[in-house]
Amino acid sequence: MNFSDILTVLGNPYFTNDTIAIYNMDCKEGLEIMRQHNLQVQATITSPPYNIGKIYEKPMPITTYIDWIADVSQLVYDVTSNHGTYLLNLGYLKVEGKARALPIPYLLWDKMPFFLNQEIIWNYGAGVACKHYLSPRNEKILWYVKDEENYTFNLDAIRDPDVKYPNSKKNGKLRVNTLGKNPSDVWQIAKVTTGANRSPEERTDHPAQFPEDLVQRMILGFTNEQDIIIDPFLGSGTTASVALQHNRCCIGFEINEAYCETAKRRIMQQDSKLQQDRFNLFQIAV
Ligand SMILES: C[S@@+](CC[C@H](N)C(=O)[O-])C[C@H]1O[C@@H](n2cnc3c(N)ncnc32)[C@H](O)[C@@H]1O
């Protein structure tokens, strides 16, 4: 199964190049078509709406919302290859009279068809400053796999070079891995901030953009080159942009056409930059 087989079945994308395709489509519709045609991918990396009133979401009763995330996840499971992976980023929601900020994973944990391999805490510095309770500074990434014994994990590709005692030795041998340490299940990665003089270069007009560094760690650590990755909630196209930088294919579904356009422009810019870099390298080599 390859990238072009999937495009043939899904039909005309909003945008495509050799390895990236963006569909302006409800993800359930797209995933259902893939399921019916037995199309499979190696990984899904995504961040769905959290049902907290953002501009891009329709508010739903909590049980409806949880059932919806579970339904999308079942479809993801059905289109994931036997040794595939599902990385699901989730935050918190308010439950009237019960919780100010309930971690969404608490509501989902027994509704998922995948094996939960690990919960990763994404910790960031900037955010809302609160007076009556602690300022929230984390979200979760649920690392699901289909086969608990056999899945992709490229530890060396994501080792953290910030080792406290890099020269520490035992019996004359270095004690630490020279590539760095295991990055642990707490990842400190800055959010994509907004505001004059504060926005990083990667900032688009999307209000809930994934940081590229976060997606890069997921792509390098949990997928291989040439793998096909889906992002059912593509937004500004971060998953696709990082996939392009690291020789993975990506298929994204996004219901809002304006965000498809944002993602398309981002991929085209990234593509030209990569081509320019390759050209510059070639010039140095000859
Ligand atoms: C949290 S944002 C994802 C942001 C993305 N990770 C990025 O880096 O820009 C969720 C996105 O899902 C889209 N969305 C909501 N419902 C959808 C659906 N049923 N199918 C496809 N996309 C949907 C929204 O328009 C929004 O852009």
Chain segment 169-179, per-residue pLDDT in tens: 888 887 788 89
- Ligand 1 site residues (CB inside 6 A) read 26-27, 47-49, 56, 206, 208-210, 232-233, 235-236, 238, 253-256, 259
Q: Work out the pLDDT band at 266, boundaries 50, 70, 90.
A: very high
State the Rg of the chain over Cα.
20
Contact 17, 241 (CB under 8 A): no
Ligand 1, atom nearest to 253 Cα: 21
Looking at residue 197, its pLDDT comes to: 67
* pLDDT per position as a tens digit, 114-137: 999 999 999 999 888 999 999 999
Contact 89, 122 (CB under 8 A): yes
262: three-class secondary structure by DSSP: helix
Contact 234, 22 (CB under 8 A): yes
Q: Which two tokens stand for residue 122?
A: 């994404």
> Which helix or strand (DSSP H or E) is residue 284 part of?
helix 257-285
Looking at residue 279, its pLDDT comes to: 87
Q: Which two tokens stand for residue 230?
A: 């889906």
- How far is 75 from 114, CA to CA, in rounded Å? 11
DSSP state at residue 180: -
Ligand 1, atom nearest to 263 Cα: 9
Q: Work out the pLDDT band at 196, boundaries 50, 70, 90.
A: low
Q: Is the model more confident about 145 or about 170?
A: 145
- The count of other CB atoms within 10 Å of the CB of residue 90 is 21
> What contacts 142, CB < 8 A, 6 or more positions away?
86, 87, 88, 89, 90, 105, 116, 119, 120
Q: Which of 241, 255, 265, 266 to mutate to test the pocket of ligand 1 (most atoms within 8 A of CB)?
A: 255
Q: What domains are defined for the chain?
A: 3-285 (3.40.50.150)
Mean pLDDT of 260-286: 91
Is it the case that residue 199 has pLDDT exceeding 80?
A: no
Q: Work out the pLDDT band at 166, boundaries 50, 70, 90.
A: confident
Mean pLDDT of 93-98: 95
Looking at residue 244, its pLDDT comes to: 98
Is it the case that residue 256 has pLDDT exceeding 90?
A: yes
Looking at residue 148, its pLDDT comes to: 98
Instruction: Say how many Å lie between the CA of residue 129 and the centre of ligand 1.
Output: 26
Is it the case that residue 195 has pLDDT exceeding 80?
A: no
Query: For residue 7, which phi and psi values (nearest 5 degrees)?
Result: -65, -35
Q: Calculate the CA dihedral of residues 237, 3, 248, 104 and round it to 10 degrees.
A: 50
Query: For residue 85, which phi and psi values (nearest 5 degrees)?
Result: -135, 150
Q: Work out the pLDDT band at 22, boundaries 50, 70, 90.
A: very high
